[in-house]
Structure 1
Amino acid sequence: MKRRGKSVILSLVLLVSGFLISYSYQQTKSSPQMVQLNDSQWEKEYFYQQRLLDMENRNKQLRDELNEKRDIIQKFENEMAGREQTVADFVERKKKLQMLNGEIPIQGEGVEIVLSDSGYIPDEEQVNQYIVHETHLHNVINELLSAGAKAIAINGQRYMKDSYIACTGPVITVDGIQHPAPFVITAIGDSDVLYSSLNLTRGVVDQLLNDNVEVDMTKNNQIEMKARLSTEG
C-alpha cells in the first residue's frame, strides 16, 4: 500500500511537471508572434500618423493660400472703393463747378437787394441823377463777390464773370437782355457776411442812397437761381 501511494504521488508530480513544461513551451513559442504583431501595429500607427501630419500640413498650406487670396480680394475691394470715391468726388466737384459756371441751377442762403429809381425827382433836377445806372449795379456786384458770393443774378438772370452790363435809358442790359427797374440782385453765400459787407458805414448802401437810389435789402434762407441762358454770352 505504501508503494502504491508513493507511485500515485509521483505520477501526480510528473503530470504537473509535464503540464508546466508544456505551458512554458507554448508561451515561449507564441512570444515571437506577439512581438511581430506589435511591430505591425506600430508600423500601421506610424503610417497613419504620417498621413495625419501630411494632411495637417496640407490644410495649413490651404489656409495660408486662402488668407492670401482674401487679402488680395480685400485689397482689390479697397482699391475699387477708393476709385468709386474718387469718381464720386470728381462728379461732386464737376457739379459744383457747373453751378458756379451757371450751367445748372443752384440754390442756397443769401441776400436780396432791390435797387429802384427814386420816387421823387425835383423839377429843377436832372432825371439821370435819380435813376439806377450800371455803375450802381457794378458796385453792388463787386462788393458781393468780394464778400464771397458764390452766385449772382439780376432779375433772375445769372450774372457771370464774363457778363457785361450796359445802361440804355431807363433800362439795364445784361448780356444783351434788357431789364426794367426795379433791379433785383440776388446773391447766394453766407447771408450774414454778405449783408454786413453791403451795409458797412460809408459802404455800398450809403453810396447808393447818396446817389438817390432807393435800396431794399433782406436776408433769405433759400434763394434759387436758374441755369445760365444758352443765348447769353
Structure 2
Amino acid sequence: MTGKHVIISLVLLVSGFLVAFSYQQTKNNAQVVQMSDDQLEKDYYYRQQLIDIEAQNKELREEVEKKKDRIQNLEDQLANQEQKVGNYVEEKKKLQKLTGDLPVEGPGVEVQLRDADYIPSEENVNQYIVHESHIHKVVNELLSAGADAIAINGQRLLKESYIACIGPVVSVDGVQHPAPFVITAIGDPDVLMPSLQLTHGVVDQLVNDNVEVTLQERDRISMPAQMTGEG
C-alpha cells in the first residue's frame, strides 16, 4: 500500500506542477497583450491618423484624375486650335495664290480657245469667234475644280480681274489679247481635266458654239506673283 501511495503522490505532485505552470504561462501571456490606457490612446490616435491619411490620399487621387482629364481636354483643344490655325494658313495661302500675292508653280492644264477656221459666208462671224463668255466658262470651271492659279495668255488673273470682249480681241484687266486664248491653270490635272470634259460640260458647250478647243496636261507651270497698285 505504501508503494501505491507514493505513486499517487507523485502523480498529484506532477499534476499540480502542470496546473501551476499553465496558470503562470496564461498570466504572463495576458500581460503581453495587455495595454495601458496611455497605449490605447496612442493606438487610437495613430489609427485615426491613418484613416485621415487614407481619406486625404483618396481625395488627392480623385483630384489627380480631374487634373488629368482637364489636361487632356486642354490638349484636345490645343490640337483643334492648331488644326484650325493650320487650316486658316492653308486657306490664306490658297487665297493669296488666287489673288496673285504669291508665286505659284506646279502641274496643271492648258486650254487653248481658237476662233473657227471656217466661217460660212452666209453666217454671222460673231457666232464663230471666241467671246469673253467662253473664257469665263473655262475659268469658272477651273476655279470650281480647285485650280490654285489661272493665267490667260501668260497674264495671271487676280481676285478683282475683269474680262471684256473688244471686237476681235479680249481685254484682261485692260490688257488686250488676240486669239488664240491660252488659259493655263495650276492644280491637279487628274481633277481639272475631267471637270472640263464632262458630258454636256464646258468643252461640249464651247464646241457647240463653234469654238475650237484644245486640252493639254502640263507637268510644270510657273506663275510669278502679280504686282498690284500704283508705283
TM > 0.5: yes
Contact 2:141 2:195 (C-alpha < 8 Å) held by counterparts: yes
In the alignment, which of 88, 91, 94 is matched to residue 96 of structure 1?
Answer: 94
C-alpha spacing 1:11/1:219, structure 2 compared with 1 (3 Å): same
Measure, in 2, the Cα distance between the counterparts of 1:30 and 1:199. Answer: 114
In the alignment, which of 16, 22, 26 is matched to residue 21 of structure 1?
Answer: 16
Contact 1:111 1:191 (C-alpha < 8 Å) held by counterparts: no
The offset of 1:84, in angstroms, is 0.8
Deviations, residues 108-155 of structure 1 (Å, cap 9, x unaligned): 54441143796x99xxxxxxx79x98xx35132222245353443112
The offset of 1:157, in angstroms, is 1.2
Aligned length: 210
C-alpha spacing 1:141/1:187, structure 2 compared with 1 (3 Å): farther
- Do structure 1's residue 113 and structure 2's residue 108 form an aligned pair? no
Partner of 1:193: 195
Which stretches in structure 2 are left out of the alignment for 5+ residues? 120-124
Measure, in 2, the Cα distance between the counterparts of 1:12 and 1:165. Answer: 140
Partner of 1:126: none
Percent of aligned positions that are identical: 33
Which stretches in structure 1 are left out of the alignment for 5+ residues? 122-128, 210-214
Measure, in 1, the Cα distance between the counterparts of 2:166 and 2:9. Answer: 154
C-alpha spacing 1:184/1:25, structure 2 compared with 1 (3 Å): closer
RMSD: 4.6
The 3-state SS of whatever aligns with 2:217 is: strand
The offset of 1:199, in angstroms, is 3.4
The 3-state SS of whatever aligns with 1:147 is: helix
Which residue identity lines up with residue 199 of structure 1 in the other structure? V
Deviations, residues 190-228 of structure 1 (Å, cap 9, x unaligned): 32332453433xx4345455xxxxx45113255635145
Measure, in 1, the Cα distance between the counterparts of 2:20 and 2:203. Answer: 127
TM-score relative to the length of structure 1: 0.62
Partner of 1:230: 227
Measure, in 1, the Cα distance between the counterparts of 2:26 and 2:210. Answer: 126
Which residue identity lines up with residue 115 of structure 1 in the other structure? R
